[in-house]
Structure 1
Amino acid sequence: MRSRTLRVSLPVAAVAGVVVGLIAPTPTAAAPTRYEAESATISQGVVESNHAGFSGTGFVNYDNLTGSFVEFSVSTTQAGPATLTFRYANGTTADRPLTVTVNGSTAAASLSFPGTGAWTAWQSRTITANLNAGSNTVRAAATTANGGPNLDYLDVDVAAPAAEYQAESATITQGVVESNHAGFTGTGFVNYDNVVGSSVQFTVSGSGPATLIFRYANGTTTDRPMSIAVNGTVVAPGLSFPGTGAWTTWQTRVITANLNAGSNTIRATATTANGGPNLDKIDIGPGDEGQPPTVPTNLTVTGTTSSSISLSWTASTDDVGVVGYRVYEGSAVVASPAGTSATIGGLAPSTSHTYAVSALDAAGNESARSAPVTGTTRPAATGTPVAINGQLHVCGTKLCNQHNQPIQLRGMSTHGLQWYRQCVNNASLDALATNWTADVLRISMYIQEDGYETNPRFFTDLVHQIIEQVTARGMYAIVDWHMLDPGDPNFNLSRARTFFTEIAQRHNGKNNLLYEIANEPNGVTWSTVRSYAEQLIPVIRQNDPDTPILVGTRAWSSLGVSDGASETEVINNPVRAGNIMYTFHFYAASHGTEYLNTLSRAADRIPMFVTEFGTQTASGDGGNNFTRAQQYLDLMASKKISWVNWNYSDDFRSGAVFREGTCPNGPYTGTGPLKPAGVWVRDRINTPDNFPTG
């Protein structure tokens, strides 16, 4: 049941093992560049030509399911704002919204594509978004089970060309020109010295209002702010240049300022002892005309817990680019997100709150506020696993609750969200929490195999959503960074930094999370895995100091046993971080006494958490060995090792608990919809918990 991805464009290039369609743009007679949908990368959709009025050779008919998408590869010679126009037809009376992401970041959440009256009646929807110089991806993904409209093409109209000034050609004070990190333009970039006052000064031409676009990279997790002065006057003190995930990942910061007629100086000066970021160039574009952004629309409550309300809205547009939003409750600003969603925490149970949102542009102009929306927090949970145990932490070799008592959590793991997210819905989660009485759900987000790397924004938002759903039911949630192939976790380190930074920032006020940072490292040494963990954990701790972190062990989280090693490599060389546990995975029909004894010995020396097991073979299929599985469960009960079973889906394999066809409509309660493995594990989860409180 893996997603069907159709790539029909030529030529085709293989990059890092991924086949990528390279789209040749077709210029129109006007300024925009046209990209035909039928030449884009298509996931869960087909190219058709049975409805007249399209351009090119056809259009894309989305499959009727959430997550189907069309992704365009768009090339521009400059960074800055661009107008994106989608031509579509919708012959139904139901809206078919799409979430538009640009280079993985949401540009328009749930953009409306209403009915056009007929499949042969074509209309357009237009947004603005910032593009990078060079290659960009623009993805339009369906957000409802109806899929998207029929999509004909995307027109891209880039703003007037900007004047480009290379940093390596500017006046440099306490910095050097280097070229050792790929992705820069020109002949190199400036690496600031790590001192306050190091600077790069550009001499530029212009007159009147102008947009200043700084292209930079910051491979650390620490902001490297700079003070921007124009002709000696500071126009942006302490402008943030946050981490970009890697020194080879380049992003832009945009401000507006007035230039004199003729020659001007623009100086970017480091304001901390870390110096500035690596600075590639500055582009000077047309200035702001004093117009604020458009008002955000479609403000919606997307989730509630007993202490938080989550919101989303459709992105605003602006001539110089939207840089952020303000969420208001009355006259108070309660959140200032950069994207089109926010969670407001610290609220009392069963209370109502009314919010509105405004948009900010690079010139500091603020839009009017959106239409308000009211959300009500849920009643306080009583008797749930989280209500009893609260914030978890590691004490010695055990997982302990808020009363500092060792506990054991028992629950289920989702299957890969790219394939079986239809099995994670309100009804199935209600059943897991109340009919199965589970303590924990592992949210399994694959990185490769059509997962996170294909659409970081979509999958991050999906994890946000499931976290809120699990939280509302009083269960714990394991956020599973499900790396598998390639087996070196460092391959996805930059992605992991980006993902966990956002997750930790959004949910650091919750007391029901655990972060699993590497599902099953394989083909690498323990020292490689440990190095990865010691690079990623500080990124998480910068935003969330309290949530326990689960570290995968090598050889498919077998403590090295599957490669002929043992638990001693971890015991003798532990990860240098606190409040962490190590993971172990087993499949009872494949992993016998050697694995069982390894887990037993390890649990006496280091904190262990079994984040995945099955009663079948390591393939997740085949016959069940319930006798061996029970031996593992008896051991884990005696040593209070928490466990999660694979998997809560209707996959055809014997390890999926539900019979095929159960999802998305259920039923999910009782034993009727379950396979034998599902009946067995539900019975074990349903035995009474032992949560000491004193």
Structure 2
Amino acid sequence: MKLKAKFLMIALLLIFGVSKAQFVKRHGQLSVQGTQLVDKNNTPIVLRGMCLGWHSMWPRFYNEKAVNWLKKDFNCNIIRAAMGIELGEKSYIKDAQFSKDKIETVVKAAIKSDIYVIIDWHSHNVNLNEAKVFFAEMSKKYAKYPNIIYEVFNEPDNESWMEVKTYAEEIIKVIRENDPNNVILVGCPHWDQDIDLPAADPIKGYNNIMYTMHFYAATHGKELRDRTDAAIKSGLPVFVSESAGMEASGDGPLNLQAWQEYIDWMEARKLSWITYSVSDKDETCSILQKSAKSEGNWKEKDLKESGIKAREFLRKYNTQE
């Protein structure tokens, strides 16, 4: 009997391992029904993962082994590749080819690892012409892969919703000429806080569009959750493409209680969420110590408190899928 029980346990572990290993194969093409992200079977799906730090500042983590480690050790079912547009000597504006190479390395790694990936135009400003060229190229290359999600504007800061909307409509048009199906994420003013503005005046004429809300739990409280709830109630599909447990500056102490309140709130609403960020900057939101290897295989000592907690959340909630 003990031998049978042992074999049964091994079989269950293998089944669970295969299930995790074939996440995109199992869930396939994503779409938006009402306010909910759903999979190929029209079943609600929650994506949970990590955002890489700006490629132009922390390019060393933009490699296949790091992506695979985030899937394997953190249980990520999605990775966000944050392409820095203006910041740094290797930003997209200053070195487009380097930038594309880094982003595509992560995209290809995510496809190989069978998880979803966000191609994130990581900017606070409108760069319409550059974005049109970039997203035209990416959508031509990757339209056939259900792994892909496009994020066309990370965090507008001082732009009005009309400016953001006009920009987003131009980029969506470019993407949809090549890729009719994959989900597109659109930011909103004030660092993705003013989610009420697109709720009052959403983009029309396109399917599979979602709108991003970002929170940092030690700064943003119930007011932002209530505003987001009202937006969802009005019919706006919301995706939390960047979040963490410290202050909005990315620094300061973690507020674990406030972070858990946000996690509980997102889980109750089946909102997808990404934690920021896989980098080794001397700040709280950068989850890695300087000792962390570029290719993953990070030990406990290589993780800051924010990294240990982010991994704990991902291991807990992504095992429920």
State the TM-score, normalized to the length of structure 1: 0.42
Structure 1 residues 512-552: Cα deviation after superposition (integer angstroms, max 9, x where no partner) = 01000000112121111111111111110001111100000
Given the superposition, is the C-alpha separation of residues 422 and 403 from structure 1 closer, same or farther in structure 2, using an over 3 Å criterion?
Answer: same
Pick one of 536, 542, 550 that aligns with 2:177: 542
Structure 1 residues 46-89: Cα deviation after superposition (integer angstroms, max 9, x where no partner) = xxxxxxxxxxxxxxxxxxxxxxxxxxxxxxxxxxxxxxxxxxxx
Would you say the 8 A contact 1:389–1:401 is kept in 2?
yes
Q: Within 2, Cα distance between the matches of 1:534 and 1:542? A: 12
Pick one of 224, 249, 266 that aligns with 1:636: 266
Unaligned runs of 5+ in 2: 1-17
Show the counterpart of 2:200. 572
More strand by share: 1
1:446 and 2:84 correspond: yes
1:509 and 2:144 correspond: yes
Show the counterpart of 1:424. 62
Name the % identity: 32
Which letter maps to 2:219?
Answer: S
The DSSP-based 3-state class of the residue aligned with 1:418 is: coil
Pick one of 114, 119, 128 that aligns with 1:479: 119
Which letter maps to 1:680?
Answer: K
Pick one of 143, 155, 158 that aligns with 1:523: 158
* TM-fit CA distance, 1:664: 2.0
Q: Within 1, Cα distance between the matches of 2:86 and 2:178? A: 26
The DSSP-based 3-state class of the residue aligned with 2:241 is: strand
Structure 1 residues 137-189: Cα deviation after superposition (integer angstroms, max 9, x where no partner) = xxxxxxxxxxxxxxxxxxxxxxxxxxxxxxxxxxxxxxxxxxxxxxxxxxxxx
Q: Within 2, Cα distance between the matches of 1:618 and 1:438? A: 23
Which letter maps to 1:463?
Answer: I
Given the superposition, is the C-alpha separation of residues 627 and 500 from structure 1 closer, same or farther in structure 2, using an over 3 Å criterion?
Answer: same
Q: Within 2, Cα distance between the matches of 1:463 and 1:423? A: 11
Query: How well do the aligned residues superpose, as a CA RMSD in angstroms?
Result: 1.7
Q: Within 2, Cα distance between the matches of 1:446 and 1:513? A: 18
Q: Within 2, Cα distance between the matches of 1:515 and 1:592? A: 28
1:620 and 2:250 correspond: yes
Show the counterpart of 1:412. 50
Structure 1 residues 635-679: Cα deviation after superposition (integer angstroms, max 9, x where no partner) = 1001110000000122211111111231326542x5332111111
Would you say the 8 A contact 1:413–1:647 is kept in 2?
yes
Would you say the 8 A contact 1:423–1:650 is kept in 2?
no
Which letter maps to 1:434?
Answer: K
Show the counterpart of 2:10. none
Pick one of 310, 313, 316 that aligns with 1:681: 310
Larger Rg: 1
Would you say the 8 A contact 2:68–2:109 is kept in 1?
no
1:554 and 2:183 correspond: no
Given the superposition, is the C-alpha separation of residues 465 and 426 from structure 1 closer, same or farther in structure 2, using an over 3 Å criterion?
Answer: closer
More helix by share: 2
* TM-fit CA distance, 1:425: 2.6
* TM-fit CA distance, 1:688: 4.5
Count how many residue pairs are aligned between Structure 1 and Structure 2: 299
Greater CA drift, 521-530 or 508-517: 521-530
Show the counterpart of 2:27. 389
Show the counterpart of 1:601. 230
Which is bigger in relative contact order (C-alpha 8 A, separation at least 6)?
Answer: 2
Would you say the 8 A contact 1:610–1:642 is kept in 2?
yes
Show the counterpart of 2:135. 500
Show the counterpart of 1:347. none
* TM-fit CA distance, 1:382: 7.0
Would you say the 8 A contact 1:588–1:629 is kept in 2?
yes
The DSSP-based 3-state class of the residue aligned with 1:687 is: helix
Alignment of 1:324-343 (within 5 A): none
State the TM-score, normalized to the length of structure 2: 0.89
Show the counterpart of 2:101. 461
Which letter maps to 2:240?
Answer: V
Would you say the 8 A contact 1:443–1:480 is kept in 2?
yes
Would you say the 8 A contact 2:51–2:274 is kept in 1?
yes
Q: Within 1, Cα distance between the matches of 2:317 and 2:214? A: 24
